[in-house]
């Protein structure tokens, strides 16, 4: 057995339903429109809580939580976080209480953004939520989450914190090491992979997994939260941390990390004309739904790379559709305002 697969087998995973394998589908009409051989890796259909890539990651976090006897899970993230929505669903399925800290990362006073989309689903799945007023303060958000865990502990709960900031064991990234192996079972010839690069768990796990399995396919990360210059060292650290967690040598070199931030503006979670056009193109040519925060931005980046011939004509490309469609409904007013201009 490959060292990666043997190492992954040592980590407990929670039973979160049908997670994998997810479909690999050719996007025929988009292939014609963009002049490439485009395939969609449909991680939007992982099944739990309206799906998405976070199901793969949370299988490892909830597996660890349950192995440690936890009965409460805490997590911090943006108001329209897919991770938190899926964590709420996982808690409902497994019988653990879930406590969500919503960070004000996106400057919006739209009441639909504050209460619709993923937030509505958080409530539907029975999670408790609190607001954290600062959007770009990972250390402060972690401290606030730890204080909340202390409150729960004082009330007799056994809390487990899912950390999103750097410097913690990246258990969630292991889900995308597995996804790399799954993809190579579906197609083992040369491919360019395009994926969101935010926390680095999905991007880092996929890149680490492919390299550990001997695959040298390019993995292009589209920045969704911070600039490429800021993200490159974060990604390299994330890959190093994955190797340390698994107990195997890090097969990722710095020049393996390809990042593009050309469609990041105006910032994390903020809709632009380019992203709106990308969402419309995917919907009207393939009937698939993207979100403004991650997949819409990634697909806008992919279109840009094709137009600038960084991805050459005829290239086989896999777009990792990591889900997030529920968040689109929180942007309806913002969407209509943008398209009316």
User: Residue for token digits 């896999």?
Assistant: 318
Which pLDDT belongs to residue 341?
Answer: 63
User: What CATH number labels 3-53+169-339?
Assistant: 3.40.50.1100
The ranges assigned to domains in the chain are 3-53+169-339, 69-162
pLDDT (0 to 100) of residue 164: 74
pLDDT at 237: 94
Q: Which distant-in-sequence residues (6+ apart) come within 8 Å of 242 by Cβ?
A: 170, 173, 174, 177, 204, 205, 208, 250
pTM over 0.75, yes/no: yes
Radius of gyration of the chain (CA): 19
Q: Which residues contact 209 (CB under 8 A, 6 or more apart)?
A: 4, 176, 177, 178, 179, 180, 181
Q: How far are the Cα atoms of 83, 200, 299, 326 from residue 50, in angstroms, in the given order?
A: 11, 22, 20, 8
Using DSSP, state whether 12 is helix, strand or coil. Answer: coil
> From first to last of its 341 residues, what are the pLDDT tens digits of the chain?
589 999 999 999 999 987 789 999 999 999 999 999 999 999 999 989 999 999 999 999 999 999 999 999 999 999 999 999 999 999 999 999 999 999 988 888 889 999 999 999 999 999 999 999 887 788 888 899 999 999 999 999 999 999 877 778 999 999 999 999 999 999 989 999 999 999 999 999 999 999 999 999 999 999 999 999 999 999 999 999 999 999 999 999 999 999 999 999 999 999 999 999 999 999 999 999 999 999 999 999 999 999 999 999 999 999 999 999 999 999 998 888 777 76
Same fold, 3-53+169-339 and 69-162: yes
pLDDT of residue 30: 98
In words, the CATH class of domain 69-162 is alpha beta
DSSP assigned state of 215: -
Instruction: State the catalytic residues.
Output: 81
Chain-centroid distance of CA 144 in Å reads: 23
Strand segments, DSSP code E, in 124-264 are 128-132, 159-162, 192-197, 219-223, 258-260
Number of neighbouring beta carbons within 10 Å of residue 221: 28
């Amino acid at each position: 057995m490959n060292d990666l697969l043997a190492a992954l087998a040592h980590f407990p995973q929670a039973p979160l339903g049908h997670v994998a394998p997810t479909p690999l589908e050719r996007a025929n009409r988009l292939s014609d429109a963009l002049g490439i051989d485009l395939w969609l890796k449909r991680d939007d259909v992982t099944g739990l809580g309206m799906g998405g890539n976070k199901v793969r990651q949370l299988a490892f976090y909830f597996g660890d939580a349950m192995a440690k006897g936890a009965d409460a899970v805490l997590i911090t993230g943006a108001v329209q976080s897919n991770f938190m929505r899926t964590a709420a669903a996982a808690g409902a399925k497994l019988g653990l209480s879930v406590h969500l800290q919503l960070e004000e990362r996106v400057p919006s006073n739209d009441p639909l953004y504050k209460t619709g989309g993923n937030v509505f689903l958080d409530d539907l799945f029975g999670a408790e939520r609190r607001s954290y007023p600062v959007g770009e303060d990972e250390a402060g958000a972690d401290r606030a989450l730890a204080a909340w865990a202390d409150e729960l502990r004082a009330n007799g709960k056994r809390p487990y914190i899912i950390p999103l900031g750097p410097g913690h064991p990246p258990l969630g990234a292991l889900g995308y090491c597995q996804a790399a192996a799954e993809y190579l079972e579906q197609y083992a010839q040369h491919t360019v992979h395009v994926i969101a690069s935010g926390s680095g768990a999905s991007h880092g796990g996929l890149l680490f997994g492919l390299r550990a399995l001997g695959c040298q396919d390019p993995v292009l990360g589209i920045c969704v939260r911070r600039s490429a210059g800021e993200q490159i060292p974060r990604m390299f650290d994330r890959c190093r941390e994955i190797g340390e967690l698994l107990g195997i040598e890090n097969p990722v070199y710095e020049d393996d990390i390809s990042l593009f931030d050309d469609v990041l503006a105006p910032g994390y979670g903020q809709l632009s004309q380019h992203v709106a056009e990308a969402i419309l193109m995917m919907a009207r040519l393939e009937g698939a739904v993207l979100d403004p925060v991650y997949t819409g931005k990634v697909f806008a980046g992919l279109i840009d790379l094709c137009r600038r011939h960084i991805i050459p004509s005829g290239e086989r490309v896999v777009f990792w559709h990591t889900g997030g469609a529920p968040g689109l409904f929180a942007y309806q007013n913002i969407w209509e305002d943008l398209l009316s201009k």
